[in-house]
Amino acid sequence: MPNEYKVCFLRINLLLAAAALAFWSYGAPAPAAIALWVGAFWLLLTATLMDFNLRRSRDLSWQLLTILLLLYLIAAAPERHGILVWVWAAFFLLPQSRMMLTFNVLGAAVSWVLVALATPMAQALMLLLALGVLSLLAYAQSRKLVDVHGSSVRQRLRLIPGLNLWPAEQLLRDLNREQIRAKRENIHAEVMIVHVKRHQLWSCAQRLCNLTHAFESVYRLDGSSLAVLLLCTDPHDMNERRQRLCSALPGDTRCQYVALSELGSEPITIKSLTRQSVAIDAPRECCS
């Protein structure tokens, strides 16, 4: 696909959502209008300035901000924004941690109380029943997607859009294929293991992706280790490439390597690569 991760479409959706919030602010009470304009500005800022490098951010501030804005809108004008209570059911469709699930449950409960105070009791009870059922169905669907498809999908996803950076599980699948291809095509294949500081991981990963060929891949082993699958015509060329890659990394980076021909036929795990298990020959230092 020309744009595999649909970043442009995501930006368009964010801009449309910002425009919708701005339009909705007209005629709203002052407290609600402030919240709507804050939400519109936030979406506009996200669409125009956010760096879409990481496919998934570990920062939960955007989720908390969404919850707080939604609560504020409902609290500011329950009779006008009561329909927003159904947004909570959509929130439960998102994969989320237990902490975020707790926040969403509390937010939905508080929102229902605010709306219930402005509606007859019979309608409030019906709203509670419908919202509870929809939220449970949404959460069950999200758990089903994570349990059935989530693991395999995450393993296939690039960690940085547009770059050959993959999770560690992909390396285990690629090793066997590259071993067979190296023997068949009589080429030299190696895995270079790079140990960096945690705050340097993503910048080093991007640098390695930019310095490797399109048919080679970089893998994130853990929070401070990367692996690079390198292919060359002979060991001499491979040695030169290793030196170039190591010299492009920060000075305190430790780089090691092991040839695929030395891995043997025993099953390889991430731990055996990172901890230099006896199942494979100990990787040799390729740069100081």
pLDDT at 181 over 90: no
Q: Say how many residues make up the chain.
A: 288
Residue 281's pLDDT band (cuts 50, 70, 90)? very low
Average pLDDT over residues 23-31: 81
Identity at 227, one-letter amino acid code: A
Reduced to 3 states, what is the DSSP secondary structure of residue 251? coil
Cα–Cα dist 135/111, whole Å: 14
Contact 61, 42 (CB under 8 A): no
Confidence of residue 147 (pLDDT cuts 50, 70, 90): low
3-state helix, strand, coil in the chain (%, to 5): 60, 10, 25
| Greater pLDDT, 125 or 274 | 125
Inter-residue contact 195 to 224 (CB < 8 Å): yes
- Report, as an integer, the average pLDDT of 178-192: 85
Per-residue model confidence as pLDDT tens digits over 102-123: 889 999 999 999 999 988 999 9
Q: Report in angstroms the alpha-carbon separations of 65 from 10, 42, 70.
A: 19, 9, 8
CB-based burial label for 257 (10 Å; 0-12, 13-18, 19+)? buried
Task: Give the range among 79-88, 189-198, 263-272 with minimum mean pLDDT.
Answer: 263-272
CA 236/CA 232 separation, integer angstroms:
9
- At 64-75, the pLDDT tens digits run 878 888 888 888
Query: Are 21 and 36 contacting, i.e. CB atoms less than 8 angstroms apart?
Result: yes
Tell whether the model's pLDDT for residue 152 goes beyond 70.
Answer: no
Question: Residue 105: what pLDDT?
Answer: 92
The confidence band for 37, taking pLDDT boundaries of 50, 70 and 90, is confident
The average pLDDT across 16-25 equals: 85
Answer yes or no: is pLDDT of 242 > 90: no
| CA 16 from centroid of its chain's CA atoms | 23
CB-based contact 175:263 (threshold 8 Å) = yes
- Report whether pLDDT(246) > 70: yes
Whether the predicted pLDDT of 182 surpasses 50 = yes
Q: H or E element: which one contains 209?
A: helix 201-211
Going by pLDDT thresholds of 50, 70 and 90, the confidence category of residue 127 is very high
pLDDT category, 203, cuts 50, 70, 90? Answer: confident
Could you give the C-alpha distances from 248 to 144, 162, 242, 255, 286, in angstroms and in order?
44, 21, 10, 11, 13
Mean pLDDT for the stretch of residues 265-272 = 68
**Averaged pLDDT of the chain:** 78
Predicted model pTM: 0.48
Distance (Å, rounded) from C-alpha 222 to C-alpha 168? 8
| Predicted local distance difference test score (pLDDT) of residue 157 | 61
> What proportion of the chain, given as a percentage, has pLDDT over 70?
78
- Contact by Cβ (8 Å): 198, 248: no
Euclidean distance between CA atoms 271 and 188, whole angstroms: 23
Residue 213: per-residue pLDDT:
86
